[in-house]
C-alpha cells in the first residue's frame, strides 16, 4: 500500500509548502451579496462574509508519452480530475469576528476519473476554517485543506498561473499540476453577477478561468507515475442565496442543478447550466460562450434547453442521472455524453449528498467531437443543502 508520503515523494512534492495568507475575518455584520465591480487579484481571494464559496478545478489529462493525435476524435483523454474547495458560513446574522469562528467550515473533494479502466477514485475532507491546515486568503487564491492545495500567482502578461496539489492515501492517487490561463478571467453572467433564479438576489458572483493548459505528474497506487499534459477549467463562485428561499416544494426553490464547463477544441469556452425544482421543472437556465480570441462572453441567460437522451442508475445512491444530453443554445445545438456512466461521487461524509461529476465529450449533431470538459449533476439523490 502506497501512503501519502511515498506518493508525494514519487512526485517530488514532499517539500511543497504554501504560505497560507489567512482569510482573517472582517469585523462587521453580513451584507447582501455585493454587485460592485470585481477587482483582481483581490476577488480571486476569499469572501468570508458570504454564506457559501467554492474554488472548483476540473480537467482532462493525457499521458505525455502518448503520440500526438491526428484528429480531435483521437485526442480522447486518459484521465479526468476534480479538486473542489468549499468554504461555508452557517450563521450569517452574527458579526464575523474571528478566522477561528466555529461557523466557518472548509470542505473539499478530490477525484480522478480513469477513462481506460472506467473507474472513479475519490476522497473528501472537512475541517474548521482557520487552523494551519485549513486556510484561505483574502488577497488572492491560496486555499489549503490538509495536504490539498490551490494557489494562484501572476504569470506571463499578468495572466493567472495556478499550482494544484491533491493526494489521497485512501483512494491511492496523487496529482501535481501547474496550469496557465491564456486570457483574462471570464466574468459569467453580467460582469460576474450570475442569476440563478427569478429572485434578483438568487445569484452568485461567478468567475471562470477556462482553457487552462499545463503539465504535471499523476501517481496511482496500482498504476505507477506518469507525466501528464492537462487542459482544465477553474470556477470561483460565492453567494448568499444560491438555490432560492422557501420550502423544498416552492416553485422558486431549486433542489439541484446541471452544469457543464467545456473547453472547445477551437479555443472557445462554453458554459451551460440549469437550476431544477423538486418536480423536475426548470427554474432558471444560463451559460456563456467566449470566442477563442477572448473578449466579452456572450451571455445565455434563460436561453438554454437541456434534453436528456440516456440515463444511468447508481447502484449506491439509487439516483438516476442523465448521461447523454442534447442542449440547445444561441450558439447552436450540442450533444453531450459522459465518457463513462459510473462517475457518481458519494460525498455524504462532507457536503452531505451524492452527486455526479465526471468527464464528458461534446459533439455536434453529426457526431463530430468539439471538445472535452466536465459535467456536474446535483439534486438527483436528494436536495442539495445550500
pLDDT for the residue 3: 43
Higher-scoring residue by pLDDT: 147, 18 = 147
Enumerate residues 6+ apart whose C-beta is below 8 A from 367: 335
Q: How far is CA 86 from CA 112, 130, 150, in A?
A: 18, 13, 12
For residue 280, pLDDT beyond 80: yes
Question: Can you list the alpha helix ranges (DSSP code H) found in 50-175?
Answer: none
**Which residue has cell 439541484?**
256
For residue 99, pLDDT beyond 80: no
Q: Evaluate whether 106 touches 99 at the Cβ level (below 8 Å).
A: no
Confidence of residue 253 (pLDDT cuts 50, 70, 90): confident
Q: Is the link from the previous residue into 154 a cis peptide, with omega within 30 of 0?
A: no
For residue 320, pLDDT beyond 50: yes
pLDDT for the residue 147: 93
Confidence of residue 101 (pLDDT cuts 50, 70, 90): low
Residue pLDDT, tens place only, 283-295: 999 999 999 999 9
For residue 357, pLDDT beyond 90: yes
Enumerate residues 6+ apart whose C-beta is below 8 A from 62: 75, 77, 78, 228, 229
Grid cell digits, residue 68:
500526438
Q: Evaluate whether 243 touches 78 at the Cβ level (below 8 Å).
A: no
Confidence of residue 336 (pLDDT cuts 50, 70, 90): very high
Angle at the Cα of 263 from the Cα atoms of 70 and 305, rounded to 5 degrees = 120
What does pTM read for this prediction? 0.87
Confidence of residue 146 (pLDDT cuts 50, 70, 90): very high
Q: Quick one: 42-377 is in which CATH superfamily?
A: AttH-like domain (2.40.370.10)
For residue 162, pLDDT beyond 50: yes
Closest CA to 175 of 236, 207, 216: 216
pLDDT for the residue 241: 80
Residues above pLDDT 70, as percent of the chain: 82
Mean pLDDT of the chain: 86
CA distance 21 to 141: 9
* Beta strand pairing call for 353-363 and 332-338: antiparallel
pLDDT for the residue 96: 46
pLDDT for the residue 46: 96
Phi, psi of 156 (to 5 degrees): -60, 135
pLDDT for the residue 158: 87
Residue pLDDT, tens place only, 65-92: 887 766 666 689 999 999 999 999 866 5
- What is the mean predicted confidence (pLDDT) over 321-335? 97
Closest CA to 260 of 122, 372, 339, 112: 372
For residue 256, pLDDT beyond 50: yes
Q: Evaluate whether 177 touches 232 at the Cβ level (below 8 Å).
A: yes
Confidence of residue 384 (pLDDT cuts 50, 70, 90): low
For residue 311, pLDDT beyond 90: yes
Residues above pLDDT 90, as percent of the chain: 69
CA distance 84 to 39: 23
Confidence of residue 154 (pLDDT cuts 50, 70, 90): very high
- What is the mean predicted confidence (pLDDT) over 29-57? 89
Among 28-37, 160-169, 223-232, 319-328, name the one with the lowest average pLDDT: 28-37
Domain borders along the chain are 42-377
Grid cell digits, residue 252:
422558486
For residue 31, pLDDT beyond 60: no
Amino acid at each position: 500500500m502506497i501512503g501519502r508520503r511515498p506518493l508525494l515523494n514519487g512526485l517530488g512534492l514532499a517539500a511543497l509548502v504554501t504560505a497560507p495568507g489567512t482569510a482573517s475575518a472582517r469585523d462587521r455584520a453580513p451584507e447582501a451579496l455585493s454587485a460592485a465591480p470585481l477587482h483582481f487579484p483581490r476577488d480571486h481571494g476569499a469572501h468570508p462574509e458570504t454564506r457559501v464559496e467554492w474554488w472548483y478545478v476540473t480537467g482532462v489529462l493525457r499521458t505525455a508519452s502518448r503520440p500526438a493525435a491526428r484528429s480531435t476524435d483521437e485526442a480522447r483523454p486518459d484521465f479526468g480530475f476534480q479538486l473542489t474547495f468549499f468554504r461555508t458560513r452557517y450563521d450569517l446574522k452574527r458579526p464575523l469576528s474571528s478566522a477561528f469562528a466555529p461557523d466557518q467550515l472548509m470542505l473539499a473533494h478530490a477525484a480522478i476519473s480513469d477513462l481506460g479502466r472506467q473507474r472513479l477514485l475519490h476522497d473528501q475532507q472537512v475541517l474548521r476554517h482557520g487552523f494551519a491546515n485549513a486556510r484561505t486568503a483574502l488577497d488572492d487564491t491560496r486555499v489549503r485543506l490538509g495536504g490539498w492545495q490551490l494557489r494562484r500567482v501572476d504569470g506571463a502578461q499578468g495572466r493567472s498561473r495556478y499550482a494544484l496539489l491533491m493526494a489521497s492515501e485512501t483512494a491511492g492517487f496523487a496529482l501535481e499540476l501547474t496550469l496557465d490561463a491564456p486570457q483574462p478571467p471570464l466574468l459569467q453572467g453580467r460582469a460576474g453577477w450570475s442569476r440563478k433564479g427569478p429572485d434578483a438576489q438568487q445569484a452568485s458572483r461567478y468567475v471562470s478561468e477556462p482553457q487552462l493548459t499545463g503539465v504535471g505528474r499523476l501517481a496511482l497506487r496500482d498504476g505507477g507515475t506518469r507525466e501528464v499534459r492537462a487542459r482544465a477549467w477553474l470556477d470561483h463562485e460565492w453567494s448568499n442565496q444560491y438555490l432560492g428561499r422557501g420550502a423544498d416544494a416552492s416553485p422558486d426553490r431549486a433542489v439541484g442543478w446541471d452544469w457543464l464547463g467545456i473547453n472547445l477544441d477551437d479555443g472557445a469556452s462554453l458554459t451551460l447550466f440549469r437550476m431544477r425544482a423538486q418536480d423536475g421543472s426548470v427554474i432558471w437556465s444560463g451559460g456563456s460562450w467566449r470566442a477563442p480570441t477572448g473578449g466579452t462572453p456572450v451571455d445565455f441567460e434563460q436561453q438554454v434547453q437541456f434534453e436528456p437522451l440516456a440515463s444511468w442508475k447508481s447502484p449506491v445512491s439509487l439516483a438516476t442521472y442523465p448521461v447523454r444530453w442534447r442542449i440547445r443554445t444561441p450558439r447552436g445545438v450540442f450533444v453531450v455524453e459522459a465518457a463513462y456512466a459510473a462517475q457518481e461521487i458519494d460525498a455524504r461524509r462532507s457536503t452531505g449528498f451524492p452527486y455526479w461529476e465526471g468527464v464528458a465529450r461534446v459533439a455536434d449533431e453529426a457526431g463530430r467531437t468539439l471538445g472535452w470538459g466536465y459535467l456536474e449533476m446535483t439534486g438527483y439523490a436528494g436536495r442539495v443543502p445550500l
